[in-house]
Structure 1
Amino acid sequence: MFDAVLPLAAFSQRKVVASVVLRVVTGRSSVVFDSCWGRNMRVFLLGELRVLDGDVELPLPSSRKARALLAFMFATSRPHRRERLCEMFWDLPDDPRAALRWALSKLRQVVDRPDQVRILADRERVEIDTGSVEINLWQVHGELQRRGQTSIETLERMARMLEQTPFDGLDGAGSDLFEAWLQSEREDIEISRVEVIRQLATHPDISEFAAKKWRRLWREANPEGADEYARSVSEEAADVANSQPTAERHSRPREAEALKEQRIGFCEVRDGTKIAYATIGSGAPLLKAANWLTHLEFDWQSPIWGRSFAEIAKGRRFIRYDERGCGLSDWDVDDLGFDAFVEDLETVADRLGLERFPLLGISQGAAVSIEYAVRHPERVSALILLGGYAAGWRHTVDQEERARREAVMSLTEVGWGTDNPAYRHIFSQTFMPDAHAETLAWFDELQRQTTSPRNAARFQDAFGNIDVRDRLSQVRAPTLVLHSKYDQRIPLAAGRALAAGIPDARFVPLESRNHVLVGDEPAWKVCAETMAEFLADQGL
């Protein structure tokens, strides 16, 4: 059977409908977990891959590669280049495109109907139309993103679903690229499982007997989170018993309240990459350009970013987004280059209708912010650059240091996702040499959860190529540059060079060795106060 080539434009009307459904299913609008949308196909990605037409289970191809391809397309639900699919599943010396065509012909026998073509393909790309498909993994993600209290019954059903191994039986069905994607998907799903357990353990309507079970499971999965909750409950009980005021305690976890209040959305860049963004607060906007190692949800729970972001968000509308390849944004992306980073920023600003706003750039986000400010001078009212640089390591280091950097990239790709944090310590010890041991441990785990091993290496490679030195003199926005004096990751000289190159920029050195400032260190207090004063001086 040949691989029919169908023009994707012919399905434009269907794809519009499918995109609306996708927004509902994935939680970008309200989702009801128990709803039945009148669909005639159901797909199970938790556990072994299963496809049902009504109540009839459909036979799947015997080829594991074909089944893995089907699961991948259902899970991602977006177009993929044929070359990319060949790399992921048929890294063969002879004819991988023929193997892909054969697999698609087998999958069409499963999902296509005489009156409904679901596998859409042209000569360059392949995708699956999920507009009339109910996918259990999407239901779980959608329910977790829905605002409001979820019922105990629904949470328990989700917990049972999430106990199963996602994409079970598909290990080894593709190349290292597929394995990396599979691992990252499972890690994300494990995060969802822990969140469901947390909600059950703390649900106001659950019985004490059931709560004990879920607290035990929560402690097994996330000891720090469970113990912190137990401590807060004990403190509250003690305050009530002693009639002590609780205002201070309730105001302390601003980060936890912020996590409940922030609103997460998604926008799509021209190349099809979906970028996750979050807004919190009200008032004048402040947009933070993405930098590596962020996660819109986990950051608020972080001893690193949580307190810092809560401080920045006071009295204004604070906007963040996750880098492509990182956090809640798409991980499986072809382009992790500088121009793509800038376009992501442009897309988020356009999506939110920001006409004129101050821009915060941290680490490599500083270079992205500079490029954006030069391209769009009418929109950037002020620049704040923290721990930034204008030129990546490939432009500034000698051959010996270049060899070390390239060796670290190789180590990253093989060791990033392992349980042994030794590989990730390469970063945590230079990002935050003065942080507490528990903060470093949290940062190690954050690294693993925010991106895949392959992407972690690709990010390092991309950052090495950054060079906006010729753009510094073209910046017209008032600029504040802050940099740790003893930064172990990006030397102070890089921050000075930024300030020297940008007309009338103000430079403030900070008493710290940390590249990533921690919310409880004195240098962060100076940093936060200086940023607030700078924005106030600009009338922002």
Structure 2
Amino acid sequence: MDISIKTFGELTILRDGQPADLPPSKLTRALFAYLLLTARPHRRDRLCEIFWDGPDDPKGALCWSLSKIRPLINSVNSERLVADRERVTLQSSDIEIDIRTAIAQVNDPSTSLNELLSINKHLKEPFLDGIDLPERDIFQQWLYNERKDIETLHCQILARLSSDPNIALTDRLIFTQQWEALKPFSRKATDQLLTQMELVGRTSEAEALKLEFTKRFQAAGIDWHHDSVKANSESGHVSEATQNITEDAIAGREPLSRQKIQFCTAKDGARIAYATIGKGLPIVKAANWFSHLEHDWSAPVWSPLFRELALDHHFIRYDERGNGLSDWNVDDISFDSFVTDLETVVDTCNVEKFALLGISQGASVSIEYAIRHPQRVSHLILFGGYAAGWRIGATKDIIKQREAIMTLTETGWGQDNPAYRQIFSSTFMPSANPEELDWFNEFQRLTTSPENAVRFLSVFGDIDVRHQLAKVSVPTLVIHSLGDLRIPVDTGRNIAATIPNAEFVGLESDGHLLLGREPASKVFIDAVKAFIRP
């Protein structure tokens, strides 16, 4: 059965070309759209939180809605809605979705003018009209972001149409006016609009607009001035400066929509979620605590680093067992299982040689992997790492303090009051602003359960790869924040001094985790790229 879905205007499902009757429940239709367009696995408890925070039986409500969605998109030969005890996934690779087709065509330079004009027409329709859920903040924020992305996509098309020499200059002017209306602070749109108005002889209007734009940008604190753009006098074709529309490309959340999340099975049967994105030299990021493949791309910590690495590399990462989208209910959470899970992911992805990135406790896992498989690791990058856990060589007082925190973790983790989780936030990111701390507090709750959080803390205390450091034979770069309050910089320096020929880079930061906005984040990216550059 062929299925196609229309998201412009009202949500419509076509089965073999015929419209299907959608469930009358707006919540169910919203759930379907969310599963369809996010195109990744979701934990059941998270879906309940997004859509049914109020009912006495949210799990039952979710099951009911899934039972209404299943017959719409499943067939005898294709089970597209896949749900187990922990997760729900809507597999849509064989479903034609109008917005997905539009994005592909816009990003294809060979797309014809008529196709662009057709897409432009569709983009004028409201996106997912009629499924707003104002009382569901998380869903409504997601829907708002999707619509903003559609608006940006529309600007991409208008930018191309506004500079297409096969379109009459007067029509191009109309497209440019629409572009500028959607992106009033785009220098390219405003500059091109003024240039085209000058070309069609509307000089006085252009002068009036120039004054308006100057005031607009000044009020926003943006420097702006207009230089007439050179144009071909016969065609009115605008120069390459205005054809460069990367300013309006969908850059914010696009990588999340392009990453591919899959599962592999570890030796003990635990399912490990991993994500792949990008092309080029492979980089594998060993898992560390506090990760979630579904939410990392919007994180103020991980997102900027991951996006940069994915631009020109085949970037692979995965969620630790007991964490994120990987199985939470597992018998074994141990250092050895962390290493074998990394082995499983690498083997599943079939990458023969790659750069290995280890962050925090992922550094010790990466060290162990590099010892076992030196022929597969081209470069080893360690950030904020340690070779010995908190129990190793600790005084009785330190052990008591850590055990007290573990007791608090068991009772305070996941509670609405984030006061407990702030203990972690303040040491991971001391310079974070209130919004970033709020995000981190919530992110902790999303990543794992209180029971698993305690298990992780205990396992981290027993890690010890000090005896392995001198055995590392691959090129190694050690990066550490000079003011790290969680893992002191001397720990990183000792690792670099013990690993043969290792390089060390100190960052001007106090964060165990780097905030994307701080200058140290760019230094980190530049150091990694320079280190692994062929």
What is the TM-score of this pair, normalised by structure 2? 0.62
In 1, the alpha carbon distance for the partners of 2:429 and 2:53 equals 38
**2:516 paired residue number:** 519
Amino acid at match of 1:451: T
Q: Deviations over 1:486-528 (max 9, x none)?
A: 1011111110111111001001111100000011101111111
Tell whether the 8 Å contact from 2:133 to 2:139 is kept in structure 1 after alignment: no
Q: Tell me, what secondary structure is at the counterpart of 1:483?
A: strand
In 1, the alpha carbon distance for the partners of 2:464 and 2:308 equals 31
Highest Rg: 1 or 2?
2
In 2, the alpha carbon distance for the partners of 1:523 and 1:496 equals 18
**2:444 paired residue number:** 447
Distance 1:215 1:160, change over 3 A: closer
Distance 1:140 1:350, change over 3 A: farther
**1:304 paired residue number:** 301
The structure 2 residue matched to 1:216, chosen from 118, 122, 134, is 134
The structure 2 residue matched to 1:411, chosen from 384, 408, 432, is 408
1:426 aligns with 2:423: yes
Tell whether the 8 Å contact from 2:127 to 2:147 is kept in structure 1 after alignment: no
Tell whether the 8 Å contact from 1:289 to 1:362 is kept in structure 2 after alignment: yes
Q: Tell me, what secondary structure is at the counterpart of 1:421?
A: coil
**2:343 paired residue number:** 346
The alpha-carbon deviation at position 314 of structure 1 amounts to 1.8
**2:387 paired residue number:** 390
The structure 1 residue matched to 2:279, chosen from 257, 278, 282, is 282
Amino acid at match of 2:446: Q
In the comparison of the two structures, how many residue pairs are matched? 367
- Please, which moves more after superposition, 227-236 or 458-467? 227-236
Unaligned segments of structure 1, at least 5 residues: 1-32, 36-137, 148-154, 170-184, 190-198
Distance 1:398 1:355, change over 3 A: same
Comparing both chains, which one has the higher relative contact order based on Cα–Cα distances under 8 Å and sequence gaps of 6 or more? 1
The alpha-carbon deviation at position 227 of structure 1 amounts to 6.6
The structure 2 residue matched to 1:245, chosen from 165, 178, 188, is 188
The structure 2 residue matched to 1:325, chosen from 310, 322, 327, is 322
In 2, the alpha carbon distance for the partners of 1:384 and 1:266 equals 25
**1:486 paired residue number:** 483
In 2, the alpha carbon distance for the partners of 1:238 and 1:365 equals 47
The alpha-carbon deviation at position 144 of structure 1 amounts to 6.2
Tell whether the 8 Å contact from 2:319 to 2:325 is kept in structure 1 after alignment: yes
Distance 1:222 1:166, change over 3 A: closer
1:374 aligns with 2:371: yes
**1:165 paired residue number:** 57
Amino acid at match of 1:463: F
In 2, the alpha carbon distance for the partners of 1:491 and 1:371 equals 21
In 1, the alpha carbon distance for the partners of 2:53 and 2:290 equals 29
Distance 1:356 1:243, change over 3 A: closer
- Percent sequence identity is 49
Amino acid at match of 2:494: A
The alpha-carbon deviation at position 396 of structure 1 amounts to 3.9
What is the TM-score of this pair, normalised by structure 1? 0.61
**2:265 paired residue number:** 268
Tell whether the 8 Å contact from 1:254 to 1:307 is kept in structure 2 after alignment: no
Distance 1:222 1:514, change over 3 A: farther
In 2, the alpha carbon distance for the partners of 1:223 and 1:512 equals 35
In 2, the alpha carbon distance for the partners of 1:187 and 1:350 equals 25
Amino acid at match of 1:497: N
In 1, the alpha carbon distance for the partners of 2:181 and 2:394 equals 56
Distance 1:344 1:226, change over 3 A: same
In 2, the alpha carbon distance for the partners of 1:264 and 1:493 equals 37
Q: Deviations over 1:342-394 (max 9, x none)?
A: 00000001111111111000000000000000011111111000000000000
CA RMSD of aligned residues (A): 3.7
**1:355 paired residue number:** 352
Q: Deviations over 1:142-188 (max 9, x none)?
A: 756648xxxxxxx9xx979997834459xxxxxxxxxxxxxxx9997
Distance 1:226 1:187, change over 3 A: farther
In 2, the alpha carbon distance for the partners of 1:186 and 1:165 equals 16
Tell whether the 8 Å contact from 1:187 to 1:449 is kept in structure 2 after alignment: no
Unaligned segments of structure 2, at least 5 residues: 1-12, 16-30, 41-46, 62-83, 89-98, 104-121, 156-179, 190-244
In 2, the alpha carbon distance for the partners of 1:213 and 1:357 equals 44
Amino acid at match of 2:316: I
Amino acid at match of 1:425: Q
Q: Deviations over 1:29-82 (max 9, x none)?
A: xxxx999xxxxxxxxxxxxxxxxxxxxxxxxxxxxxxxxxxxxxxxxxxxxxxx
Tell whether the 8 Å contact from 2:263 to 2:273 is kept in structure 1 after alignment: yes
Tell whether the 8 Å contact from 2:481 to 2:489 is kept in structure 1 after alignment: yes
Q: Tell me, what secondary structure is at the counterpart of 1:516?
A: coil
In 1, the alpha carbon distance for the partners of 2:141 and 2:39 equals 25
Tell whether the 8 Å contact from 2:288 to 2:361 is kept in structure 1 after alignment: yes
In 2, the alpha carbon distance for the partners of 1:456 and 1:533 equals 35
Q: Tell me, what secondary structure is at the counterpart of 2:291?
A: coil
Tell whether the 8 Å contact from 1:255 to 1:307 is kept in structure 2 after alignment: no
User: After superposition, where does 1:41-60 map in structure 2 within 5 Å?
Assistant: none
